[in-house]
Chain A
């Protein structure tokens, strides 16, 4: 158990809908990362927050947004969902936002868009 929690574990929704994925980092970790894992794209970095501030942005679509709250939990919002958004979404955390820090991954949220 990494100490990173993600809810929900599974999510099934229809095209055009909006969903929110939630992540609680390990105790004491200030940085949160979001990743998307799919068969065709592999593991893609989406976005990083550090202590409430956006730190780095990757291949995140404009339909997707995220935020990190004062208690350090983070939410990833996915809107106008398309079939291609079906994937496993991981949250990870690390003590600092530096690139030398290992990241600790949550169990993921499996999103199915029908």
Chain B
């Protein structure tokens, strides 16, 4: 069974500083990896995904994520945080496989607060 761990429930960072939101995963075989963001009272919004190829993936709003197969990690990063980045961030994994196990499994979420 696949699983995702987001070890930090809360991350605080000062505006202008770099931010990292951590994610590790467990899946049989190779994974597809995703980051989504949820603003208050809104649905999730897709940020970026890793399918194959370059381990550094660039996404929306200046976010990027690095796939590390040996560490089974997919940390979300941004060089300079904005107050408007404050939201709940979810990492998700899906296996590269056929059959019914293609569902997306989400982590528990990390609340990012960017302090002015």
Chain A interfacial positions (CB closer than 8 Å to B): 2, 4, 33, 42-43, 45, 48, 55-58, 90, 92, 97-100, 102-108
Q: Which residues of B contact A102 (CB under 8 A)?
A: 34, 46, 49
In the complex, how many angstroms separate the beta carbon of A5 from the nearest chain B beta carbon? 11
**Chain A minimum-CB-distance residue to B98:** A99
A105 and B96 CA atoms in complex are apart in Å by: 22
Most buried by B among A43, A56, A58, A103: A43
A106 and B105 CA atoms in complex are apart in Å by: 18
A42 and B46 contacting across the interface, CB-CB below 8 Å: no
Number of A-B residue pairs, CB cutoff 8 Å, is 61
Q: Is the C-beta of B80 less than 8 angstroms from some C-beta in chain A? A: no
Count of B interface residues, CB-CB < 8 Å: 26
CB contact under 8 A between A99 and B43, given known A42-B108, A43-B109: no
Q: Which residues of A contact B44 (CB under 8 A)?
A: 43, 90, 92, 103, 105
A1 and B116 CA atoms in complex are apart in Å by: 27
In the complex, how many angstroms separate the beta carbon of A42 from the nearest chain B beta carbon? 5
Partner of A99, one of B45, B102, B106, B107: B102
Partner of A100, one of B51, B100, B105: B51
